[in-house]
Structures are given as C-alpha cells and as structure tokens.
Amino acid sequence: MKSSREYWPRWAETLRRYHLHELTASLLEAASPLALLGAQALYFSRGLIENDQLTALAVTLEENDEARAFASFLVQERASL
C-alpha cells in the first residue's frame, strides 16, 4: 500500500471540486475524537470493500497528527490558489 500522504493531493482536489475542502479542514481540526470513530468504521468496512484509498484514509483519520497535517495541507492548498 502507498503512504496515505500520496493520496492527499487527489483527495484535496476532489474536496475542492465539491467545495468541501474548508469544511473538511475545519472538521479535522475540531473533531479529532470523531475522526477516530470514522477510522474504525473504515477499518470495519474493509471486510466488505477492499480499497487502498479507504485504508489510507483510515490511517490518516486514526492518527491525530496525520489528520491535523492533512487539514494543514488543505489550508495550504487553498492559500496557494
């Protein structure tokens, strides 16, 4: 599996396309306990759907530092445009 950070540009582009990047960054910064629950739900769904991106998203959400780093990545991407 690729590092979860390798998926970040693709995720950021998708979130930006649907105008969800600001909301996502805010939620990742404010709702870290909920992010852990989301990660657990994604791990549980691996039994139904095997997908490297879902696993990478679960890894990103599970680790508080990674979730905050992705939120910062979304903010930096927003500032560079």
Q: Is residue 2 part of a domain?
A: no
Give the tens place of pLDDT for each residue, 8-51.
999 999 999 999 999 999 999 998 888 889 999 999 988 788 88
Q: Does 1 reside within a domain? A: no
> What is the full DSSP assignment across 49-73?
---HHHHHHHHHHHSHHHHHHHHHH
- Distance CA(19)–CA(59), nearest Å, equals 24
- Count of domains forming the chain: 1
For 80, counting Cβ atoms within 10 Å of its Cβ (0-12 exposed, 13-18 middle, 19+ buried), the class is: exposed
Global pTM reads 0.84
Return the axis-axis angle of helices 64-80 and 21-30, rounded to nearest 10°: 150
- Domain range for 27 is 7-80
Query: Does 65 fall in a domain?
Result: yes
- Residue 22 inside a domain? The answer is yes
